[in-house]
Copies of this chain bind each other. A is one copy, B any other.
């Protein structure tokens, strides 16, 4: 099959890494490196003028954080596949990147063959992880999962409404309850989650996937 090679850009603040990746990927015919950048800003201005099929993004940058940069990239150019390239091996970080539009996550200890395979998979429109990242994703930390208080049906219901920005009077009316009752439930929620106010409550609930 003869098609145009895919365009690839790299953002990494270590010039050594940049060179290494360049050398490595230059041998791959299906990929054409069209840009290397050491900061998020310079890449963003490049992206506005040029098509980029795949971006290898080191998420630890001096000027901006990788998560936001990833989102900005996808906002401007949804068809660009962002592959995070990082030493961060926390599951939550990987999840955040994916949540913010990354097509994959590669740990920096990745082998060159694996790297090419992952880029190829991204080009085919599939999410992809390096071996190490796959293993991390399969091992959720126990603390992430437990420690979720047992909520009653009513409490879950009210939690949702609170998260939607409804006030106590709103909720009371919607559920045909006394505002005082709603207040009680709200109080119980705060107590069960051991927090001071709804802000912290909603944060935990959201992070636990309850919303």
Interface residues of A (CB under 8 A from B): 67, 71, 74-75, 78, 81, 95-96, 98-101, 103-104, 121-122, 125-129, 131, 134-135, 137-140, 142, 144-146, 148, 162-165, 167, 195-203, 206-209, 211
When distances are taken between beta carbons in the complex, the residues of chain B under 8 Å from A145 are: 71, 74-75, 78, 100-101
Nearest neighbor of A151 in chain B, beta-carbon distance = B68
Are B96 and A209 in contact, CB atoms less than 8 angstroms apart? yes
Are B138 and A122 in contact, CB atoms less than 8 angstroms apart? yes
Report the Cα distance A67→B139, complex, angstroms.
17
Closest 7 CB pairs of A and B: A165-B200, A206-B206, A127-B137, A126-B134, A202-B202, A165-B196, A101-B140
When distances are taken between beta carbons in the complex, the residues of chain B under 8 Å from A74 are: 140, 142, 145
CB distance from A34 to the nearest CB of B (A): 21
Known: A75-B145, A137-B98, A144-B101. A200 touches B164 (CB 8 A): yes
